[in-house]
Amino acid sequence: MIDRLPDPQSTGKLSLEEALAQRRSVREFRPDLLGEEQIAQLLWATQGVTGEGGRRTAPSAGALYPLEVYAMTSEGLYHYHPHEHALSLVHSGDLRRRLYEASLNQEMILQAPLTVVLAAVYERVTVKYGRARGPRYVYFEVGHAAQNLLLQATAMGLGAVPVGAFRDDAVKVMLDLPADHEPLYLIPVGYPR
């Protein structure tokens, strides 16, 4: 079952230039939870559909869209569905301690009320661009999506940090991701402490 999220806002308090100037990696968070509207806005910024043919907020080589977005809160792990702007529950329960352990005990994963997991299905890109260039395009794209999320968080008065240091297999197993969803980035988000 998928639950539609609140529509994203198209205006905010900060200009793009202000968000660029203010973005900083934040690694300490207050325990305050994020509301559904905040989570919806952050996920939309990451991979929301904004145009014809399913075009999204971030560019994608050949419009092949290899990225899969997951949202982890104290309540569970959810999968984001860009076309429906909706979430489906993957696992209920607080998985943060296990993700923290799989991420080399980086404390912010334990503290943050939300961690966005960006995973990729390489095959969607390598079928067209091959095994040499395909992965490069996937890495570019995850950077685009991550930057969108970081700037959106800043614009909303939130803090975030992109985390690339984690044990790939441990994260994949503990989140029980499908075999072809390879986790690339973990991005904890919350109110800066």
Ligand X SMILES: Cc1cc2nc3c(=O)[nH]c(=O)nc-3n(C[C@H](O)[C@H](O)[C@H](O)COP(=O)(O)O)c2cc1C
- By CB under 6 A, name the binding residues for ligand X: 24-25, 27, 106, 161-165
- Closest-CB residue for ligand X? 164
Closest approach of ligand X to the CB of residue 112, in Å = 12
Question: DSSP string covering 25-46, please?
Answer: B---B-SPPPPHHHHHHHHHHH
Which CB sits closer to ligand X, 24 or 133? 24
CA–CA separation, 89 vs 79, rounded Å?
6
Give the strand pairing for 2-4 and 182-190.
Answer: unpaired
Sign of CA dihedral 178, 59, 160, 163: positive
Closest approach of ligand X to the CB of residue 171, in Å = 12
- Residues whose CB is less than 8 angstroms from the CB of residue 9 and which lie 6 or more positions away in sequence, other chains included: 41
User: Largest alpha-carbon pair distance within the chain?
Assistant: 45
Which CB sits closer to ligand X, 164 or 178? 164
What six digits make up the tokens of 110? 């334990």
Closest approach of ligand X to the CB of residue 192, in Å = 12
Which CB sits closer to ligand X, 40 or 141? 141
- Amino acid identity of residue 75, one-letter, is E
Closest approach of ligand X to the CB of residue 107, in Å = 9
Closest approach of ligand X to the CB of residue 57, in Å = 19
Which CB sits closer to ligand X, 47 or 106? 106
Which CB sits closer to ligand X, 5 or 67? 67
